[in-house]
């Protein structure tokens, strides 16, 4: 069965650079969630989208933005990167009513140097 | 701050032992989810619970949705080496727009 696809798998950027992370949800899932997970931390909710509209906002910095496109894939844009942005970034998808929970991708490991 | 208290933080057990972990909150949840995360991978859903008192099994795993709707536990019976990993509880409150609130995780380590 198709899973949530995230790209790239690993990304190394320098401080003050920009990064774009991509997420392709499971077919027929119209809701996408972005999470940030620091080392030894639980996932922290950043933002979610339903039907291409932002549906909820968590602890997403103003330097980050995200959107969901007509094919339901989503992109997380990160600018003016800081060392503290180094983390695993997960995308999850679900139908609007997530009866069976959310399905997570394998994540993008971002390292800012 | 952490809205879900997950314990224990870590467990060292022998292969074959049973494992128990739980999550509690001062808030009422409509959904409890238990995930397992391997290093460098995304969390994988193990069990989902939707009704107070619900007891659900998935192989050697059993989880329950507490009657008060403020807690949940996960049991693993006869642990095996591949059970190693971090187990997270996650809950969803009513009117939360489906956002999940996460516990801090329980790290399961099996002694050789």
Q: Which of A58, A99, A105 sits opposite B99 (nearest CB)?
A: A58
Q: Per residue in B15-57, pLDDT tens?
A: 999 999 999 999 999 999 999 999 888 999 999 999 999 999 9
Taking the CA of residue A42 and the nearest CA in chain B, the distance in Å comes to 5
Predicted confidence at residue A98, as pLDDT, reads 63
Q: Does A109 touch chain B (CB under 8 A)?
A: yes
Q: Per residue in B43-98, pLDDT tens?
A: 999 999 999 999 999 999 999 999 999 999 999 999 999 999 999 999 988 766 66
Q: Does B89 touch chain A (CB under 8 A)?
A: no
Predicted confidence at residue B101, as pLDDT, reads 87
Spell out the SS3 assignment of chain B: CCCCEEECCEEEEECCCCEEEEEECCCCCCEEEEEEECCCCCCEEEEEECCCCCEEEECCEEEEECCCCCEEEEEECCCCHHHCEEEEEEEECCCCCCCCEECCCEEEEEEC
What rounded mean pLDDT belongs to chain A? 92
Q: Which of B98, B102, B103, B104 to mutate to test the interface with A (most CBs of A within 10 A)?
A: B98
Predicted confidence at residue B1, as pLDDT, reads 46
Q: Does A95 touch chain B (CB under 8 A)?
A: no
Residue A9 near residue A109 (C-beta atoms within 8 A): yes
């Amino acid at each position: 069965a198709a899973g949530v696809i995230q790209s790239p798998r690993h990304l190394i950027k320098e401080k003050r650079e920009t990064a774009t992370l991509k997420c392709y949800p499971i077919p027929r899932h119209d809701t996408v969630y972005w999470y940030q997970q620091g080392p030894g931390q639980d996932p922290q909710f950043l933002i979610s989208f339903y039907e291409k509209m932002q549906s909820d906002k968590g602890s997403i910095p103003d330097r980050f933005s995200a959107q969901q496109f007509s094919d339901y894939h989503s992109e997380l844009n990160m600018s003016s990167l800081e060392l503290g942005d180094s983390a695993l970034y997960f995308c999850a998808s679900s139908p609007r009513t997530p009866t069976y929970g959310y399905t997570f991708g394998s994540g993008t490991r971002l390292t800012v140097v | 701050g952490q809205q879900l208290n997950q314990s224990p933080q870590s467990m060292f057990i022998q292969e074959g032992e049973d494992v128990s972990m739980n999550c509690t909150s001062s808030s009422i949840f409509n959904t409890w989810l238990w995930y397992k995360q391997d290093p460098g991978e995304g969390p994988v859903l193990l069990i989902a619970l939707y009704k107070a008192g619900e007891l659900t099994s998935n192989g050697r795993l059993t989880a329950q949705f507490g009657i008060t709707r403020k807690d949940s536990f996960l049991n693993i019976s006869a642990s095996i080496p591949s059970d190693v990993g971090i187990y997270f509880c996650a809950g969803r409150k009513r009117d939360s727009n489906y956002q999940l609130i996460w516990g801090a995780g329980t790290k399961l380590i099996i002694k050789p």
